[in-house]
Structures are given as structure tokens and as C-alpha cells.
Chains A and B, each alone.
Chain A
Amino acid sequence: MSEIKKKEGFADNLPERHRSGQFWSNLFRISTGVGIVALIALLLNITNSAFGYVAIENRIDPESLAINGIPLEQLHPIDLTYILKQNVSAGYFRNLENEMPFEQRTREEIYDLVIERVVEPEAASTWSLFDSLFHKSEIQAEVAEKYPNADLHFTSWINGNFLVSPQSANAERAGVRTAVLGSLWVIFITLLFAFPLGVGAAIYLEEYAGDLWINRLIQTNINNLAGVPSIIYGILGLAIFVRALEPVTSGAFLGTMDPTTANGRTILSAGLTLGLLILPLIIINAQEAIRAVPSSLRQASFGLGATKWQTIWHHVLPNSIPGILTGTILAISRALGETAPLVVVGASTFITFDPESPFSKFTALPIQIYQWTSRPQAEFRNIAAAAIIVLLMILLSLNAVAVVLRNKYSNKL
């Protein structure tokens, strides 16, 4: 290229321009790399805690409970009931009997009770996935030395039982059922509240509101609200939904007040609070989606003598719905992971019963995770990791739904 003469008045700086371009592109590559490394580290950290060896020690060796050489697992329900009666306090046994007579219980139920109350297996120690994979012999040696009676086996803390069991004080028996149900209830209320309101506001702002100073002010405020820290929404929710609207949020106005539900700290309050939190996000996303509908479509519709509402209903909404749904699901994902506002509006940290109505006390997955990580026992950190995996799975499936919806509707165009 050197034979091409340099143009007068222009510096010969092409190599320099390429160099600076190369510099920036490398920088961007590095930042992407850092992001990926951080993500991998996060996932490794969680899996590391969610799987691994656990040494289980029983208070009573199940073999010592065998009767006439028949092992515990094969004993007749009557024998199992007898064992239970011998080993628990009389009061507790009567309680169980009152709940449901033993003759009516299945063999599995009684067996579970014997294991839970008599054998009482407890994790003496747990190991991370990394240690379990690479230091197996050392773990075995340690168990043999420190916990001679313990039974060492590899466990996945996230398993079927974990998903369907309610919260428990014992990490081996605790599960996320209560928290998952609580989260789903709260999200359902949130969606019911925020979706119609948000889409409605977006339609108004995009299609009806004129370019007045008041509308511009509202728009600016909505944009700012999207960035307000979530704890502030928690405080707002506490003031409005828990305190001021207590007769409504506690269900008292329907006469269906749950005696265990004190002062409006219910699913309804939490759902409405999270609804307020994601309302600006839904509005902004829906506005973007509505704005993206080509104006040629609106003109075509108006040109045929359609009214404004017919145009919105038949053209603007159907064509913006993929964007609106995607934005809504992303907002819902955010609400699902929120902890701070729920703490403020009074999510319970320890309940073992399923939420039954919007007026029930509740807990939610992030609250449960937070509560488990703050326990001193190591096993709770393992089940916290398992609960994080459950939360991530729910979030990923929500995102997958968003992608599917988007593709499904945009293919039609």
C-alpha cells in the first residue's frame, strides 16, 4: 500500500487507529471473561455445598431394635408401634394417638415415626462436594476415628424429600415446600396486582397522554421509581398494607381472619408490596414494547376508520404482547428473588404449615435461604445451597417461559 501516496492534509495514522481499536476490543473481551468466571464461581460454590458426604449418627442403632431377628424395616406395624411406645414419652405418644389412632396409620408412617423419634439419625459432620470427590480416603479415615458409629454416605441435599417437606428444625428433614408455596402465592398476588395496572398505565402513557408537563413529570418519576432500593418499598408496604390496610390485608373484612395471622403480615401484604416494587419495571417495559409497534400499523388501522381503542386492542396490544410478557417475566424474576421488603413486611422465618389463602402467614424462598445460612449448624448451609438451586431453577424456568412466549408470538408477525 506504500506506493499509494499519502493525501495531503491527512496524517498517516491508520496503524495507530487500528491499535486503539484492538486495545478496546481486548478490554471488552476481558470484562466478558471476568463476568463468566464470576458466574462459574457462583455455580461451583453452590453445587459444592449442595452435594457431598455426610456422616449420619443414630441415637439408637436400628439393629438393636430388631425383634426376634427380624430387622426394623420388616417389622409388623404393631411391633413398630410397640417400639415407639417404649422409646418416647407417654405424653407425646398420647398426642400422636389422638392425632390419628395407630391402627389407622400406614406401616410407612409408623416406620417414619420410629426413625424420626427413636433412631433419630443426625448428621455428625458434612463435607463439600470438592472434598468428597478428592479427599475421599481422608474423610473415611476421619469418620472411622471420630464417629465410629456413624454411617458415611454420599448425599444430594437437593432431593425429592427436600422439595416436598415443610420447614423443620432438623436439617435432614427440613424442606422448601413451605417456602416454595409461599413464594408462588406471593408472586401470584404480585402478578395479579402489577400486570393489569402496569400494562394499563403503559397504554395510557403511550397512547392517550398528551405531551403535557404533568405527564412528563409522571414519566420521569416512574423511571426514577424503578431505581428506588427495594427496602424502601418494604417500608412503604409496612406502612400501607400491613398497618393502614390491616383490616383488608388480614382478611378481617371478610371475616376469614386466621387466628395465627397477626396484624396484616400476610401473603396479600407481601404480594402487594412486591407489586408496587415491580410496577415501574412493568410500566417501562410495556411502554417500550408498545412504542416498538410500528406507527404504520396504527395509521393503517386509523385509515380504515378504526377508533383509538379498536386500534389499541386489535393491533397495538397483540403486536406488543411478546415484549410486554418478556418484561413482565423479568420483573417477576426480580420479585421472586427479593428479600429485604419481605423481611420488612414481616415474612415468617419459621413456619411449618402450608399457606392456604392470601391471608395466611407465609415465608418465601429467599427468606428461607437467608434464615438457613445464618444458622450455626453446618448442615443448614448445605440445605441453603440446595434451596438456592431450587430458586435458580424457578428463575431459569421463568426465563425459559419468557423466551418461548417471545418466539411463539413474534413468529406470527
Chain B
Amino acid sequence: MTENNINSYAIEAKDLNLYYGETLAVRDVNIQIEKQKITAMIGPSGCGKSTVLRAFNRMNDLIPSAHANGSVLYHGKNIYEEDVDPVEVRRRIGMVFQKPNPFPKSIYDNVAWGAQINGYTGNMDDLVEESLRGAALWNEVKDNLDKSGLSLSGGQQQRLCIARTIAVKPDIILMDEPASALDPIATLKIEDLMQELAKDFTIIVVTHNMQQAARVSNFTAFFNLGEDYAGVLEEYGVTAEIFTNPKKKTTEDYITGRFG
């Protein structure tokens, strides 16, 4: 994948249709994600926002029946083309999951592992420290780096997962409801962290929490269920605009809590 400076978007979906087997899950998504910004994807359950998120780093490949047509352009290259290695895509487009899922390894190894398998040649101790600092976790764990990642609290585990993700130095970080399993204080920490991370990374976050989307994101994409129960991108724009002056009635209904 070559750097394409002309392209100002971090990643871009064009006429993207996603299927599970025969079922169309998401229809005709066209979206351009801005670099080093936080883009929130909101919408009712089952509208396909997670599916779209996972389409951005070909995580859907792990589900045997899932397939995509259309294109996802990353550095001007469609990542669904034959000659693209999904492993390389996932290294450059990292992912943080809904439920914190640290490896059953030490904190140090949790962060170092991804870099290790990707052939990182620099100083591992420095990378681990840098990543843990980047995830605002260093001060809490610096004396216990050899303790199991699972011994941490839920919020710490999620930040450990973020540290692990940034250790492989991706361009984009996909977050699938990263705070939905956490208490309000841990959630706040994650949100602060996301804004900190947006200085270096492009972040796309799926969330069910409307306030969260409003608080942290620069852009918001509202997905809804179409009449045939396939998800569609209903409205996409600057967050302030979407929340204060939505163009569509359904968007307004959703964010004001009238359905969903």
C-alpha cells in the first residue's frame, strides 16, 4: 500500500454492501472518515454499525458467511481487492472491542506481543512504556508490569487493550462500544483518552451512548434500519450539526430518544 497524499481521508467506504450469507446486512454505505478526528457511529441495535466498523479492517472475514461488495479505500487502495493481505490491513487499522479482552499474559507481554509478532526491532521496554503512557495507564501499572493483565479492573483492562493496539502503531483505531461494559468513571477516562489519542490517530467509535457521541466525536454517522431490515447510513456530518440541527426526521427522533 503506497502513501497517497492527494487523498485527504483516513478511510473511505464506497457503495459498500455487507452480507451475512444471503442476507443483506448493510446497504450502500458511502462515508469518508477524516484523518485524526473522532467519528462516532450511532444508531439502533441491529442497524449494522458494528458490521460497518468491522468492515474497515476486514474483521468480518473471521465470520465464514460474511462477505462484502463495494470498496473500502485506504490510502487510495481498496482493501477488499485480491492482492491485499487482511493481516496487513489489521495491523494498520487496529481495533478495541466492546468487552475488555486482554491476553492472559502479563501486562508487559500484553503490550509487547503485537509489536513482537509484527517484527518490531526497536527497544521493547521503551515501546511498552510509551504505549502504556499513551493509554494513560503507565502510572497505575508501572510497578506491576509482570502481573497478569486480567488482574486489572475493567476500565484498566480496556486501557490496556488500547495500549496494546497503539503499540503496533496503526493509523486508525476502531472502537466497538469501548465503554459500554464500564462504569461512568472508567467511561470518562476512556473518553478523555480518546480525545488525547485523536492527536495521533484517526478514531472511529461505535456507541449506544448518545451523550458520549456528542461529548467526544467530531463527526457523527447515524445508521438506521431500512424497510427491508438492512442497515443504511441515514445521515453523516459534523457532530454539532447532527445533534442540534439534523436534516432528517428519523435522526432527530433517534437522538431525542423517541425510538431506538
Contacts and interface: CB of A to CB of B under 8 A. Distances in A.
Interface in B99-135: 99, 101-104, 113-114, 117-118
Interface stretch (A12-20, A135-143, A299-307, A383-391): A299-307
A304 B101 contact: no
B78 to A, nearest CB: 19
Contacts of B103: 297, 300-301, 315
A210 B90 contact: no
* A contacts with B: majority SS: helix
Interface residues of B, number: 27
Interface in A288-332: 294, 296-307, 310, 314-315, 318-319
A306 B87 CA distance: 6
Contact of A299 (B101, B114, B148): B101
Interface string B166-202: 0010000000000000000000000000000000000
B49 interface: no
Interface stretch (B56-64, B137-145, B233-241, B244-252): B56-64
B97 A303 contact: yes
B117 A303 contact: no
A397 B168 CA distance: 46
B155 interface: no
A303 B57 CA distance: 8
Contact of B101 (A210, A297, A413): A297
Contacts, number: 67
B152 to A, nearest CB: 14
B164 A304 contact: yes
How many chain A residues sit at the interface, stated as a range, is 20 to 34
Contacts of A306: 87, 114, 117
A307 B95 CA distance: 15
B117 A319 contact: no
A305 B113 contact: no
A310 B168 CA distance: 15
A412 interface: yes
B117 A310 contact: yes
B253 interface: no
B216 interface: no
Contacts of A299: 59, 62, 95, 97, 101
A305 B62 contact: no
19 contacts: A296-B99, A297-B101, A300-B102, A302-B59, A302-B62, A303-B94, A303-B97, A304-B91, A304-B94, A304-B117, A305-B88, A305-B90, A305-B114, A306-B87, A306-B114, A306-B117, A314-B113, A412-B148, A413-B150
